A and B are shown apart, each in its own frame.
Chain A
């Protein structure tokens, strides 16, 4: 697929925004904001919406995209905190909504997961697949459930590590060391969470708990409090660890 002069509308406040903007620009797309796109809706070939923590904003922006763009324009939405099927239900043209999910840093993701909503039409799914291929990513198509596969499993691991810190059963440093040295994880779960953004992890955890309604998905109170205190991790200077001054140290 040629990307030359194709315009993608990107909107949302997920930590994914900046990195998606970067890889789309690097792949030759022209990337515009919601406001910019509103001035030239006919030039948009595909829209990507990435709100996870603020579901009111997610619904408002998806509704606006749905009103503004011709029903033939596919809209990709992150299905990390709600299902794509629910997001599609908010729109007048649900057949062009498709879910996807990944976590930053995108340089480490050779593969993106795509989850079509129950309403998604097959030709939309084809456009979505070739779009991700054009960004240099492989695609795995999974059924539509909150958090897809990798974000869901990693969120539960991080949540369990957060319970362990909350209980003071072990320090964040020791938990991260144990998971890297005892079971070969690429990163310790808490340093990993700090890089992804605790807001993103919390949004997934809360979404799983909301949709599946089981104690199994209960968010660790410490994780929720860190997010309420805006301690999102590396990008806000503090999360499970502090990144201010010389770095390191327990948050």
Chain B
């Protein structure tokens, strides 16, 4: 495996997690965030995770230090000039991502692989109008990035086959399980999983069964680890609703993805799940 220099943009939970994944696999990492406080929090996060690894006997103190030394914390995007690969992990806003990729195409080598970690934005749209769009691809990690094995490698309209293969191999080198998908709304997981939530909500709305029954049936008859309502409470009902709306909009209102009014009312009322103490279940006690 070739050691690479990887730029990671955005040092929030996802970016810091991705930086950790890369550093553990001995890649050099430049973790970029304009906000110094966020960078310092990311550094503490890396130290705490790696210290736990030492306590558990997974790595030595020396390995911990070496892993930390592989990560440089930077706040100027120009510092990413020498990178072989950049993984952008900023919030899901098209304007923000487009502006970053505009900068990257100017700053980075023309053969650098430019990856965007997105669950909902079209890769083709991010790459549209930029120079060398063939090296821009989607690279979707699942939360938490250090734990979840899957990476969706997303082929934009102009991504080259060579770069798709390079991104796929890079995911394997990170110890992850990559899958390939073309640039379609929701990619694989967020598309195919929609009915798990949406149809459960429809069944609830039509009074075929109640929340507790549906969760119990999906676990005991279906073998799923969590029921659709428990899972929405865990994910955040607002996040789940936003994903459905995004897939529905991007499929031009295909009926299969039509969002639920029940879910919309939950969001409007501020009952967002565990994080607010109430959702489909009550967590206040």
A216 to B218, CA, bound (A): 21
A214 at the interface (CB under 8 A from B): yes
Which residues of A, 154-213, contact B by the 8 Å Cβ criterion? Answer: 154, 156-157, 159-161, 163-164, 167-171, 174-175, 177-179, 181-187, 189
| In the complex with contacts A143-B208, A145-B208, A182-B150, A153-B228 CB distance below 8 A | yes
A contact residues around B182 at 8 Å (CB) = 167-170
- Give the interface segment out of B43-51, B101-109, B191-199, B274-282: B191-199
| In the complex with contacts A111-B221, A160-B192, A186-B223, A140-B203 CB distance below 8 A | no
Q: Which residue of B lies closest to A175 (CB)?
A: B188
A115 to B218, CA, bound (A): 16
A110 at the interface (CB under 8 A from B): yes
B189 at the interface (CB under 8 A from A): yes
A111 to B219, CA, bound (A): 9
B160 at the interface (CB under 8 A from A): no
A231 at the interface (CB under 8 A from B): no
| In the complex with contacts A142-B209, A169-B184, A216-B256, A179-B222 CB distance below 8 A | no
Q: Is there contact, CB below 8 Å, between B221 and A110? A: yes
- Choice from B188, B222, B225 contacting A170 with Cβ under 8 Å: B188
Closest chain-A Cβ to B175's Cβ sits at a distance in Å of 12
> Looking at chain B, what size class is its interface with the partner chain?
35 or more
Q: Is there contact, CB below 8 Å, between A216 and B188? A: no
Query: Could you write out 15 A-B pairs with CB less than 8 Å apart?
Result: A102-B221, A140-B217, A149-B213, A149-B217, A152-B199, A157-B193, A164-B188, A164-B192, A167-B184, A168-B182, A170-B179, A170-B181, A174-B180, A189-B192, A218-B256
A143 to B209, CA, bound (A): 6
A contact residues around B207 at 8 Å (CB) = 143
Closest chain-A Cβ to B127's Cβ sits at a distance in Å of 18
A66 at the interface (CB under 8 A from B): no
Q: Which residue of B lies closest to A144 (CB)?
A: B208
Q: Is there contact, CB below 8 Å, between A179 and B192? A: yes
Closest chain-A Cβ to B68's Cβ sits at a distance in Å of 28
A28 to B193, CA, bound (A): 40
A contact residues around B195 at 8 Å (CB) = 153, 156-157, 159-160
| In the complex with contacts A110-B221, A153-B196, A170-B180, A178-B189 CB distance below 8 A | yes
| In the complex with contacts A170-B179, A174-B179, A216-B258, A179-B208 CB distance below 8 A | no
A131 at the interface (CB under 8 A from B): no
Closest chain-A Cβ to B110's Cβ sits at a distance in Å of 29
Q: Is there contact, CB below 8 Å, between A181 and B150? A: yes
Q: Is there contact, CB below 8 Å, between B191 and A160? A: yes
Q: Is there contact, CB below 8 Å, between B256 and A112? A: no
A contact residues around B189 at 8 Å (CB) = 178-179, 182-183
Q: Which residue of B lies closest to A143 (CB)?
A: B208
B214 at the interface (CB under 8 A from A): yes
Closest chain-B Cβ to A81's Cβ sits at a distance in Å of 16
B contact residues around A175 at 8 Å (CB) = 179, 188, 192
Closest chain-B Cβ to A183's Cβ sits at a distance in Å of 5
Which of B142, B184, B217 has the most chain A CB within a 10 Å cutoff? B217
Q: Is there contact, CB below 8 Å, between A181 and B149? A: yes
Closest chain-A Cβ to B109's Cβ sits at a distance in Å of 30
In the complex, besides A140-B216, A161-B192, A175-B192, 8 extra interface pairs with C-beta distance below 8 angstroms are A152-B199, A164-B188, A170-B179, A170-B180, A178-B192, A181-B149, A182-B142, A186-B223
- Choice from A112, A153, A167 contacting B218 with Cβ under 8 Å: A153
Which residues of B, 222-245, contact A by the 8 Å Cβ criterion? Answer: 222-226, 228
| In the complex with contacts A177-B177, A178-B189, A160-B194 CB distance below 8 A | yes
A102 to B213, CA, bound (A): 15
Q: Is there contact, CB below 8 Å, between A153 and B150? A: no
A contact residues around B224 at 8 Å (CB) = 184-186
- Choice from A109, A149, A167, A189 contacting B208 with Cβ under 8 Å: A149
A138 at the interface (CB under 8 A from B): yes
A contact residues around B115 at 8 Å (CB) = none
A179 to B149, CA, bound (A): 11
A113 at the interface (CB under 8 A from B): yes
Q: Is there contact, CB below 8 Å, between B255 and A149? A: no
Closest chain-A Cβ to B221's Cβ sits at a distance in Å of 4
Q: Which residue of B lies closest to A220 (CB)?
A: B256
Closest chain-B Cβ to A146's Cβ sits at a distance in Å of 10
Closest chain-A Cβ to B259's Cβ sits at a distance in Å of 11
Bitwise, B242-277 to A at CB < 8 A (1) or not (0) is 000000000000111010000000000000000000
Closest chain-A Cβ to B155's Cβ sits at a distance in Å of 9
